Amino acid sequence: MQPLIAEQRLFSGSADRFLAGLGEFRDFGRATERLVDAEIPYYVNEFWTAGQRRSHSIHEISYRACFKAQLPEFFISRLTRPGATVFDPFMGRGTTLVQAALMNRRAFGNDINPLSVLLTRPRLAPMTLGQIRETLRSVNWSKGKIKRSDLLAFYNPKTLIKLEALRTWIRERSPPSAAEVDPAVDWIRMVALSRLSGHSPGFFSGRSLPPNQAVSVKAQLRINEKLGVEPPERDVEELILRKSKSLLRDGCVAQRSEPSLHAGVAWAVPGIVDESVDLVVTSPPFLDIVQYAADNWLRCWFAGIDPSAVAIDAHRTTEAWTEMVRAVMQEQARLVRPGGYVAFEVGEVRNGSVLLEQLVWQAAEGLPFERLGVMVNRQQFTKTANCWGIVNGSKGTNTNRIVLLQRL
């Protein structure tokens, strides 16, 4: 699939022109509904496609609770020009940054989870399958030793030995904290992190849950018992090359400018200077819905990260969540240039009983932003997943809610 990058449309630098364009938008056959609720203007339509696998192939790294690349693409193409700086303070797997780089924008990002840098940075540099293949030849696959027998719940002993050899080799060549990294080693680590566990032979593990979260050892043992199988041996090198080929089938990011990536809290990113950002596209954790540390424990093991040292917030009350969002908005007020934009995406939680976009609207009150409105991207699901009896998308609709702000 070729990358879906729109032409410049609706762009003028004027918020009024952009909002007028939203009102006239009907690319998918529907007219935009404009509603007002508690003085918040809503713009409701299908603003980007719901189709699966419609974005650039290099985005296809699994991560829990990530939005589609079409979301940042919509705002980047309409609210910035090539060379502009796009920032995501909750970058996750790096969707906003990778899309920005594909569109010839400067990519700035931050996340409290250090895995985010490891998953994002390699895809922001040029890479070829030949470089990856040549670099993998230097791995001594026999050098590994099983250090955690509990991981045999996921891996065949021969596979686990190879994974330990790969971990040692990566640590020697490009440790996570290194100031400079070997781009090919960085890429190999990123791909390996994405292949640790999953539900098909394309992963290093035996059959497990989908790859955007790692189940516990006890849960994996139950899965093995239910299926009546032991983890089969996998060819680690071949699977890394296969996934790399898939990621690069649409090409890679061309080298244009160095990204600026940071690991820390979203409300204080001192490594980025004042008024240097043209557009923020981001999505924060939604209350306590997703347990990032629990989902990523296996990736943390492979990367040598202590998950207990990653202070990821889980906000159990709307008051605490709103307070966090306001602190983040205050930092965006420092970073975004006058006239720049913030697109702050939230989803539906607690069966729609909590409207997070209204809390974001409230959190921005009194800050140097004009609150333009809330976009609701309403779509019909094109795919229903059913894994181990869990049905996703049974209601048949999906919405992204994006609070739009412009820096005064």
Q: What is the DSSP letter of 354?
A: B
Q: What is the pLDDT of residues 146-195, one digit of tens each?
A: 999 999 999 999 999 999 999 999 999 987 666 788 999 999 999 999 99
* Rounded mean pLDDT, 277-306: 85
Asked if the model's pLDDT at residue 396 lies above 50, the reply is: no
Q: What is the pLDDT of residue 197?
A: 95
* Best mean pLDDT range from 33-42, 61-70, 241-250, 288-297: 241-250
Q: Which percentage of the chain shows pLDDT scores above 70?
A: 87
CA proximity to 161, closest of 240, 229, 235: 235
Q: Which percentage of the chain shows pLDDT scores above 90?
A: 73
What does the mean pLDDT of the chain come to?
88
Pairing state between β 85-88 and 106-111:
parallel
Q: What is the pLDDT of residue 399?
A: 77
The single-letter code of the amino acid at 231 is P
Q: What is the DSSP letter of 230?
A: -
The single-letter code of the amino acid at 212 is N
* Rounded mean pLDDT, 10-14: 58
- Cβ burial of 41 (10 Å; 0-12, 13-18, 19+) is middle
pTM of whole model > 0.75? yes
Rounded to whole angstroms, the Cα distance separating 99 from 253 reads 9
Rounded to whole angstroms, the Cα distance separating 266 from 138 reads 38
End-to-end CA, the chain: 39
Q: What is the pLDDT of residues 332-387, one digit of tens each?
A: 999 999 999 999 999 776 666 788 999 999 999 999 999 999 999 987 654 433 33
CA proximity to 40, closest of 358, 386, 401: 358
Write down the domain spans for the chain.
15-114+258-291+308-407, 129-247
CA proximity to 170, closest of 211, 222, 125, 118: 118
Pairing state between β 369-380 and 40-45:
parallel
Q: What is the pLDDT of residues 197-256, one digit of tens each?
A: 999 999 999 999 877 778 999 999 999 999 999 999 999 999 999 999 999 999 999 877
CA proximity to 313, closest of 333, 286, 295: 286
Rounded to whole angstroms, the Cα distance separating 28 from 8 reads 18
Q: What is the pLDDT of residue 180?
A: 82
Q: What is the CATH number of domain 15-114+258-291+308-407?
A: 3.40.50.150
Asked if the model's pLDDT at residue 41 lies above 80, the reply is: yes
